[in-house]
Structure 1
Amino acid sequence: MPHSASSSPASSPCIDICELAGDVCRGCGRSLDEIAAWGGMSEAQRRAVMSGLPARLRAMGPKAEAPEEAIAHIEAVLKTK
């Protein structure tokens, strides 16, 4: 179903660094399963996943790519709506 002009885009933690470390994205910290399910998730489900991503990115250590940028983006998204 196409989005109407009044609908807002789905929240996303993506920062366009789409590389994997195991089964987790090095850019946003989502798992492959989360990425695959993202489009079918409700906004509340997406926000629930995003709330745990900063800790996941920090725990990834050097495997995370641009974690501070990603965390800042995620926190900004979570403050909206």
Structure 2
Amino acid sequence: MSTPERPVLSPCVNICALDDDDICTGCQRTVEEITRWSRMDNTERRKVLELCHERAKSSGLVWMIGAKPQN
């Protein structure tokens, strides 16, 4: 018998403020993603986390060490 998978944790960092595009400046989730989080399964949550990471990279919040600079 397999152990049930633990829920993917929320990326919330308690810096809850929306930017002009309604993206949270703390966790990089959209308002819809934040409100739906508790009803998402782990697959959906992982997709949202990937989107959050991409948003953070695009906005310069995450630097990719060893990545080639985009011109």
TM-score, normalization: structure 2? 0.67
**Residue 48 of structure 1: aligned partner:** 47
Q: Which is richer in strand?
A: 1
1:16 to 14, 24, 31: 14
Instruction: Flag the structure with more relative contact order, 1 or 2, with Cα contacts below 8 A and sequence separation at least 6.
Output: 1
Ranges in structure 2 where 5+ consecutive residues have no aligned partner: 63-71
More helix by share: 1
Note the aligned Cα RMSD (angstroms).
Answer: 2.1
Aligned length: 58
Runs in 1 of length 4+ with deviation above 2 angstroms? 6-10
